[in-house]
Structure 1
Amino acid sequence: LKCANSWVYRFKLHNGLQKVNFLGEANSTPIKNLLAERVRLRALLAKYNVEDIYNADETGLFFEWN
């Protein structure tokens, strides 16, 4: 699993991903943060074809990041 862990580490580093702990199912986010994140997400998604964009929330793809 060492190879898989190092791949995940490099993938997270390259894509600016980090582990975030949530303290419950519902968390509130300030609206200004939400709007800024939507702008950032749209700019990111504009770089890809629609066929190459996948939704992976609530699919069991969550696991403990190292």
Structure 2
Amino acid sequence: MQAGDPLYSHVDCPALIMTASGTVTEYRSSCKVPIVHTGGEVAQESGGISHWWKNTGNAVAVLY
């Protein structure tokens, strides 16, 4: 990763991310097709994946 690169690795830090509201698109190293997350969904981040998320909706996205 370089400075300013949005790609983030979960090699040593697994996480659960809940999309509380809005729509975000995840670009993941293990997927050829982007993953769309909407309000109420939970995503698991582990196993050394690298990824980045982008707000692709028309409203503010809230993630926990």
Please classify the TM superposition score into its range, dividing by the shorter chain length.
Answer: under 0.3
Structure (1 or 2) with the greater strand fraction: 2
Larger Rg: 1
- TM-score, normalised with respect to structure 2: 0.22
**Structure with higher RCO (Cα < 8 A, 6+ apart):** 1
- TM-score, normalised with respect to structure 1: 0.22
